[in-house]
C-alpha cells in the first residue's frame, strides 16, 4: 500500500471568466520512505498539488488514495482526523501562534484531536518533539524570541508531534538564509531516514537536489520525474552528523 496515489487528478479554479487548470490529469505515486522535491515555475500547480495531497483541498475529479483509502469517500471529520494524525504540515511562513511559547505551539495539534491526551502526556510528547529538532532549551521562548531557522524547527516539531507518516512542506526554506536552509534540510533528512515520507516544494534547484526524487510541474502537469544521484545527500548527512555531535 502506497502512502500517496493520485490518478488523473484535476483541479480547476475560476478567475472571472477564465478557467485556470491548476492540476490537469496528474498521475503520481509516492512510496513509503521517499523524499520527493516538487519544483516548477510560479503558478505551475505545486501548492495546489500539496493542498490536495494534504486533504486541505479536494480535487474536482480523479482518484486520490491516501494510505490505501479513497479520500473522495471521506467526510469532513474523517479528513480532519487524517490531516491531524497521518500528515505533518510545514509552511514557508512557519505559521506559529504569536505570544505563545514553542512548547504550546507544538502541543496544539494534540489538543485539536478529539479524545485528546491528558495534559501531562501532551506536554511530554511536545517536549520530545522539540528535543528531536534540537530545541528543547528554547521551549519557553515565543516565536519573536527565536531566529527564523529556530521558528521553522518549532514548526517541524509541531508537524512531528502526532508521529505522522508523511510530512508535506511547501517552500519550508523560502524565508531562510543558506546556512539555516542546510540545517533544516539536514533535519528533514534525519526524519526521512527514520522512515517518514517527505514531500517538499521548492523554488531552489540546490534545495531540490537534497531529495532523492525531483518532480517538475508545468501548467498543472508533471513535466519531469527524476531520480537523482546521492552526492548532495552525502553532504547533508555529513552536516547532520556535525550538528548532532
Ligand atoms: N484559490 C484560488 N483561486 C483561483 N486561482 C487559484 C487559486 N489557487 C491557485 N490558483 C491558480 O492556480 C494556479 C496554480 O497555483 P499554485 O498556487 O498551485 O502555484 P504554485 O506552483 O504553488 O506557484 P508558486 O510557486 O508561486 O507558489 C495558478 O495559476 C493560480 O493563480
Ligand atoms: Mg505555491
Q: In this predicted model, what pLDDT tens digit does every residue of 38-59 receive, in sequence order?
A: 999 999 999 999 999 999 999 9
Determine the Cα–Cα distance for residues 230 and 162; give it in Å rounded to an integer: 30
Look at ligand 1, atom 16, and give the residue with the nearest C-alpha: 45
Ligand 1 site, residue 244, Cβ cutoff 6 A? no
Query: CA angle, 139 as apex, 133 and 143 as ends, to 5°?
Result: 90
Please tell me the distance between residue 13's alpha carbon and the centre of ligand 2 in angstroms.
Answer: 14
- The predicted model scores a pTM of 0.92
Q: Quick one: what percent of the chain has pLDDT higher than 90? A: 84
SS3 content of the chain, % helix, strand, coil (to 5): 40, 25, 30
Determine the Cα–Cα distance for residues 225 and 201; give it in Å rounded to an integer: 14
Ordered alpha helix ranges (H), 14-172: 46-53, 76-86, 102-112, 119-132, 148-160
Look at ligand 1, atom 5, and give the residue with the nearest C-alpha: 13
Residue with grid cell 513509503, as numbered in its chain: 32
All domains in the chain, ordered by first residue: 4-244 (3.40.50.300)
Look at ligand 1, atom 7, and give the residue with the nearest C-alpha: 13
Any idea which ligand is nearest the CA of 51? 1
Query: CA angle, 136 as apex, 89 and 178 as ends, to 5°?
Result: 60
- Summarize pLDDT for 98-150 with one digit per residue, the tens: 999 999 999 999 987 766 788 899 999 999 999 999 999 999 999 999 999 99
Any idea which ligand is nearest the CA of 91? 2
Ligand 1 site, residue 202, Cβ cutoff 6 A? no
Amino acid at each position: 500500500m502506497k502512502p500517496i496515489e493520485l490518478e488523473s487528478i484535476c483541479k480547476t479554479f475560476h478567475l472571472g471568466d477564465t478557467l485556470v487548470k491548476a492540476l490537469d490529469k496528474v498521475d503520481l505515486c509516492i512510496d513509503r520512505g521517499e523524499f520527493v522535491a516538487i519544483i516548477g515555475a510560479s503558478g505551475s500547480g505545486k501548492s495546489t498539488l500539496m493542498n490536495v495531497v494534504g486533504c486541505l483541498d479536494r480535487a474536482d475529479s480523479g482518484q486520490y488514495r491516501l494510505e490505501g483509502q479513497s479520500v473522495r469517500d471521506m467526510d469532513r471529520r474523517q479528513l480532519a482526523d487524517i490531516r491531524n494524525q497521518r500528515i505533518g504540515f510545514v509552511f514557508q511562513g512557519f505559521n506559529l501562534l504569536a505570544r505563545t511559547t514553542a512548547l504550546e505551539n507544538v502541543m496544539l495539534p494534540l489538543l485539536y484531536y478529539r479524545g485528546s491526551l491528558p495534559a501531562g502526556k501532551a506536554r511530554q510528547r511536545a517536549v520530545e518533539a522539540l528535543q528531536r529538532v534540537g530545541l528543547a532549551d528554547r521551549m519557553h521562548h515565543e516565536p519573536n524570541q527565536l531566529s527564523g531557522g529556530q521558528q521553522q524547527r518549532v514548526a517541524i516539531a509541531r508537524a512531528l508531534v502526532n508521529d505522522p507518516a508523511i510530512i508535506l512542506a511547501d517552500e519550508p526554506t523560502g524565508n531562510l538564509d543558506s546556512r539555516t536552509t542546510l540545517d533544516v534540510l539536514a533535519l528533514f533528512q534525519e526524519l526521512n531516514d527514520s522512515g517518514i515520507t517527505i514531500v517538499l516544494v521548492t523554488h531552489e534547484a540546490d534545495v531540490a537536489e537534497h531529495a532523492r526524487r525531483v518532480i517538475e510541474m508545468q501548467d498543472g502537469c508533471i513535466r519531469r520525474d527524476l531520480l537523482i544521484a546521492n552526492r548532495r545527500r552525502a553532504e547533508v548527512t555529513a552536516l547532520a552528523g556535525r550538528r548532532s555531535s
